[in-house]
Amino acid sequence: MKINTNMRVQKVLNNYNKNVGKVKKTGKTEMKRDQLDISQSSIDFQTAMDAFKKLPDVRQDKIDEVESQIDKGEYKPSAEDIIKKMMSNAK
């Protein structure tokens, strides 16, 4: 038994063959490059962060100065300075 002799199958095949030839070509597609835009505020933030990272963790000159004053017995912070520092750490 031949399948392609059936009239229904022939109609389907004829429709399929008509549609296959009608593929339209689209216009040329341009290759676009990926692009990254960074806002000015992000650039400023990054610049500030870079400068902050370059700062030393400890101000060694201040530590040396206070240690020297303590060793000589000259370090005498006022009660007001001590209270201010305690209150600023309590926040």
pLDDT per position as a tens digit, 31-56:
888 888 999 999 999 999 999 999 88
Phi, psi of 34 (to 5 degrees): -65, 145
pLDDT for res 5: 63
* Residue 31 in domain: no
pLDDT for res 80: 92
* Residue 73 in domain: yes
* Residue 15 in domain: no
Domain span at residue 60 reads 56-91
What integer best gives the mean pLDDT of the chain? 82
pLDDT of 4 above 90: no
Residue 59 pLDDT level (bands cut at 50, 70, 90): confident
Q: What are 35's two structure tokens? A: 């692009």
Q: In the chain, which residue ranges form alpha helices assigned H by DSSP?
A: 7-20, 40-54, 60-72, 79-90
Q: What domain count does the chain have?
A: 1
**CA gap 72, 66 in Å, rounded:** 10
pLDDT for res 91: 65
pLDDT per position as a tens digit, 15-25:
766 655 556 67
C-alpha distances out from residue 48 to 1, 51, 72, 88, Å: 83, 5, 39, 25
Q: Hey, what amino acid is at 30?
A: E
pLDDT for res 22: 57
**CA gap 82, 80 in Å, rounded:** 5
* Residue 47 in domain: no
